[in-house]
Structure 1
Amino acid sequence: MKISVRNLEPTKAKLTITVDKDEFEPYLDGARKEIAEQITVPGFRKGHVPGKLVDKRVGFGAVAGEAVNKALPDFYSQALQEKDIRPMAQPEIEVVDLPESADDDTKLKFTATVERRPDFELPELDGMTIAVEKDEVSDDDVNERLDMLRQRFATLVGVDRPAQKGDYANIDLTATIDGETVDSQEGVSYEIGSGTMLEGLDEALDGLSAGEETTFESKLEGGEREGETAQVKVKVNSVKTEELPELDDDFAQEASEFDTLDELKDEIRKNVEADAEGRQATKARDAFIETIEKDLDIPAPKGVKEHMVEQQLQSMGADKDKATAEQKKQAEEEVDKLLKDQMVLDALAEKLDVQVSQSDVFNFLASIAQQYGMDPNQFIQAIMRNGQIGSAVEEVARSKGLLAGMRAVTFTVDGEPLDLSAFLGSDDIAAEVDEDESVAAAAAAAAVADSLNAGDETEA
């Protein structure tokens, strides 16, 4: 097999692959055998029709076409490996030459144009030291967590005064347009200042007492008249305020398994410190990626970027043709960062010779399935049917490469070594360091989940 490569761009290559006759012949023979299983020739059992007779019966062109379908992926993969090209998208294949008969000496020749990962050199990790900003834990952090716990045990108490921000009002709402009632609700409980209902409602309620009412204008957020401006009358039935429990031993016993408030505070501090350690590990991860990317100018493959920007705009609820300049800029910046991270982590995994096992991939997919509330086995089977297993392998390799790279360098905080062994001890806990769910995995999971759910609805 002869391979020539022409770099069309730093991120696009055109491979011209010429296959010797003896290399293509096994594929022709394989095609003949498959066709022989499907045709009936008098005097011969199915599957035992001679190759020359198969050529004559269905035509050599049909045999060669079947052989090419099987041969091209194999020869293309060999060419990528031999020329050290890392594809980032499916190739555009064009068959240039193909033998027209079994006796034709014309060699199979085809081209493959593919967007590829550009060449770049990662910095050496040996001796690398990365400083990480310290994540402090203060009494305020503990008190804030304690206040959140108190709010879970708060009670609502009626008050005889005008409503104010933070109060809970029981209200009746009536929306009219041109004198016609288009919507009404009664007995709605609403936290003033939360901004979770109609625009202008918070301002209208502020200062009203039980039994009072007022009218304001607002755009409707739903229903048949969504988006239209309506006159909204709101009546206050009652006003209640949130009363927090006293911070004492009784509260500790009610809210936890501890007997005293001091014991509860100690436990909360431990949890806050554990969270701080997790944030410290995340900062270390981000600092590591930033350090190895610092001096790398890596162009993004244009077609891949364009497709990902479109997906990113969709996730933002924007159409690519109607998106604002600001939305497009944001999507492009996020995709540029994502692509650079992916390419660098792919190169890092190769540099460190990271190996991905079947159990690594299945464990990764099972964790994604759990996040989407799906049966792991069903999800994994769907991923395999949809041909998305390769994306999962890539994600696992990136995660393992990231951990291996972080183990190879030294992290410091305020000049002192930072111990991340609790997070970097094994590849199995990559999720503890990488809190951000990968976009590729999320997209795959969402697509498969949607298709499975759609199938369930159809069966119902």
Structure 2
Amino acid sequence: MKSAVETLSPTRAKLTVEVPFEELKPSLDAAYKAIAQQINIPGFRRGKVPPMVIDRQVGRGAVLDQAINDALPKVYTEALRENSLEPLAQPEIEVTKLEDNDLLEFTAEVDVKPEIELPAYEGLEAKVDDAVVTDEDVEEQKKGLQARFGTLRDVERAAADGDFVTIDLVAKENGETVEGAEISGTSYQVGRGGMIDGLDEALVGMGVDEEKTFSSELVGGGMEGRPVEVSVKVTGVQEQELPEFDDEFAQLASEFDTAEEFDADIRSRLANGKRLEQAAAARDAVLEALLDKVSVPLPDGILSDELAARRQNITQQLAMAGMTMEKYLEDEEMTSEDFEADLERRVRDAVAAQFLLDEIAKKEEIGIDQAELSQHLVQRAQQSGQDPQEFANHMFEHNHIPELVQEILRGKALAIMVESAVVTDESGNAVDLKNLQADGTIAEPADEPADEAAEVEAPEAAAEETSEEA
């Protein structure tokens, strides 16, 4: 086999491959054998039909087609390896010459990973916001805890923000009740939002047995965005009474004996959360600092696919939240052009970051072991709410393990880069980044993942093989 590569762009290559017919012999023999099993020729047992008879009865062309289809993937992969190309998508293959018993020639155009000259990535500088816990943060946390143990009592006054009201509600379009838009005896907290636009404003000041009608738009179903008239009636108003934040409450809601100890624990947890948020922001800032130092060529096809996937994901999330894209843009004070520009920028940065981290992982000769792969499988399963073993089986059956291995390698590369960075907050204090995890996230070390990961059964060779390929 001979192969040559033509660079069409920094991210696209064209392979021209010549294959002598003697190298196609195993595929030709396999094609004759397969066809012999499929046909019935008088005088010959099934599977024992000679090649010359198959050529006469079925046609040499059919044999060549099957043999070429069998050989092409293996020959194409070998040509990629010979020319040190890393494909990013399926190739566009064209057979350009076929001379029976002499030569097969084909071309393959494919998006490939660009060659990147890595900039210096050690000691990058970045700045993040201060990690400060305010008294307001603590009070908000306390109120949330108190609300869990709060009680409701009926009141004889108009509803106010934060009250719980019992309501009957119906939405009509052109005088006709909208199917599925009628409820009765439902409890709702004023100010919570999420049911229908304009409801909270209407409820404030309403007393028991009062009714009000207001205009709104539906946010779900086939009538999403359609204008409706909404009638709401209040049948009950309840005020939430919160328990005092005292020693008794501390003993009820926590493992602490005193309110002082409980307060200190809340502050400590909030401080830890702020620190982790700050560390995650530092990770992003360091990666952005690296992106600013280099221009990475990006394949149009990969960008288009990723943009489409991101748009679909955002649309699904908005639909689950009962919100239209128009409403989201309005709340964010963005135009559709602004949204698209921001989305494209983020996608470009994400794809470029992947390429850079892949190169760093290569340069640092990073590898993974079976335990790391198993732990990553467990973490991914937990994130998606699936059984770890079922998730692992699915990943292996559908050949997604190389993708997971690449995620781990990128995470390790990111950890190396971030831990060597010089990151300070707005006050000039150094930010501690020593709690990076193996998958590249920044979080508190977990107590049990290693034990859980051990329960996931996966071929031990898988991590080693995919690590070597990466």
Residue aligned with 2:257, SS: coil
Give the structure 1 partner of residue 360 of structure 2: 348
Give the structure 2 partner of residue 447 of structure 1: none
Pair 1:110-2:121 in alignment:
no
Give the structure 2 partner of residue 422 of structure 1: 435
Give the structure 1 partner of residue 250 of structure 2: 252
**Counterparts in 2 of 1:187 and 1:63: CA distance versus 1, 3 Å:** same
Find the aligned partners of 2:193 and 2:376 in 1 and give their Cα distance: 39
Give the structure 1 partner of residue 79 of structure 2: 79
Relative to the length of structure 1, the TM-score reads 0.79
1:222 CA drift (Å): 5.6
**Counterparts in 2 of 1:422 and 1:39: CA distance versus 1, 3 Å:** same
Residue aligned with 1:317, SS: helix
1:146 CA drift (Å): 2.4
Q: Is the 8 A contact 1:16 1:109 kept in 2?
A: yes
1:219 CA drift (Å): 3.2
**Counterparts in 2 of 1:113 and 1:184: CA distance versus 1, 3 Å:** closer
1:262 CA drift (Å): 1.6
Q: Which runs of 5+ in 1 are unaligned?
A: 435-460
Q: Is the 8 A contact 1:20 1:108 kept in 2?
A: yes
Q: Is the 8 A contact 1:132 1:283 kept in 2?
A: no
**Counterparts in 2 of 1:287 and 1:228: CA distance versus 1, 3 Å:** closer
Q: Which moved more, 1:155-164 or 1:86-95?
A: 155-164
Give the structure 2 partner of residue 130 of structure 1: 125
Give the structure 2 partner of residue 91 of structure 1: 91
Give the structure 2 partner of residue 440 of structure 1: none
Give the structure 2 partner of residue 262 of structure 1: 260
Give the structure 2 partner of residue 439 of structure 1: none
Find the aligned partners of 1:225 and 1:19 in 2 and give their Cα distance: 60
1:8 CA drift (Å): 1.9
Q: In percent, how many aligned pairs have the same letter?
A: 40
1:213 CA drift (Å): 2.4
1:123 CA drift (Å): 1.7
Residue aligned with 1:421, SS: coil
Pair 1:153-2:149 in alignment:
yes
1:256 CA drift (Å): 0.5
Q: Is the 8 A contact 2:245 2:259 kept in 1?
A: yes
**Counterparts in 2 of 1:47 and 1:432: CA distance versus 1, 3 Å:** farther
1:76 CA drift (Å): 1.9
Find the aligned partners of 2:430 and 2:217 in 1 and give their Cα distance: 57
1:333 CA drift (Å): 2.5
Q: 1:381 aligns with which of 393, 410, 427?
A: 393
Find the aligned partners of 2:369 and 2:41 in 1 and give their Cα distance: 47
Find the aligned partners of 1:228 and 1:149 in 2 and give their Cα distance: 39
Find the aligned partners of 2:275 and 2:98 in 1 and give their Cα distance: 62
**Counterparts in 2 of 1:186 and 1:139: CA distance versus 1, 3 Å:** same
Find the aligned partners of 1:110 and 1:2 in 2 and give their Cα distance: 11
Q: 1:233 aligns with which of 190, 215, 231?
A: 231
Alpha-carbon displacement from aligned partner over 1:417-444 (angstroms, at most 9, x marks no partner) = 65433325xx3x544469xxxxxxxxxx
Q: Which runs of 5+ in 2 are unaligned?
A: 317-325, 327-334, 445-470
Alpha-carbon displacement from aligned partner over 1:288-311 (angstroms, at most 9, x marks no partner) = 312222121223211222222222
Q: 2:412 aligns with which of 400, 421, 425?
A: 400
Residue aligned with 2:404, SS: helix
1:276 CA drift (Å): 2.9
Q: 2:203 aligns with which of 202, 205, 210?
A: 205
Relative to the length of structure 2, the TM-score reads 0.77
AA aligned to 1:11 is: T
Pair 1:65-2:65 in alignment:
yes
CA RMSD of the aligned region, Å? 3.4
Pair 1:411-2:422 in alignment:
yes
